[in-house]
Structure 1
Amino acid sequence: MTTQHQKEAGGMRTPHRRDISARQDLLGRELRQLFDDYTQEDMPDDLQDLAERLQAAFEGREPDGEAGAADGAAQPAAEPKKD
C-alpha cells in the first residue's frame, strides 16, 4: 500500500536512520583516508624553508642555517658572472 507522498516522489521511500548512518560512516572513512593521505605527502624543500623562516620571524630569532643573514630572510644565491 503506497501513500500519496510516495506516489508523488516516484515511489522512492524515505531512507531509514540505519541507512543514513551507514552512508555517514562510509563518507567519514573516505574523508579520513583522503586527509591521512594528504598529510603523509612530503613537503617541498622551498615550502619547508619558507615555513622555517616564518616560524623564526614569529619567534623573533634567526632561522636555522641563516645565522649570517641580518634580517633573517634567506639571501639569494649569487649568479655566476658571464664573460
Structure 2
Amino acid sequence: MALMITDDCINCDVCEPECPNGAISQGEEIYVIDPDLCTECVGHFDEPQCQQVCPVDCIPLDPDRVESREQLMAKYELLVSDK
C-alpha cells in the first residue's frame, strides 16, 4: 500500500525531508503523498520514515492503494533506475 496523509496533518514540515523518494509535497491545505512515488520506504529503510517522525500520527496506509511488498520493491527499482 502507499501511504496517505489525513486531515489531522498540522503542516509541521517534518515528513517531507524524510521521504527518500520525494513522494511528499505541500498540497493546497496539508501535505500530500504521491502514491506513484511512495514505496513505504521499501528499498531504503525497514519502516516508513514519515510515519516515524510524524508527531500526530496522521500517515496511515491508503486502503485504496493496496500493494504487496514485492510490488513496492518493483516500484522502488523503477524509481531508482530513472535517476
TM-score (norm 2): 0.21
Greater share of residues in strand: 2
Greater share of residues in helix: 1
Q: Which protein has greater RCO, CA pairs closer than 8 Å, 6+ apart?
A: 2
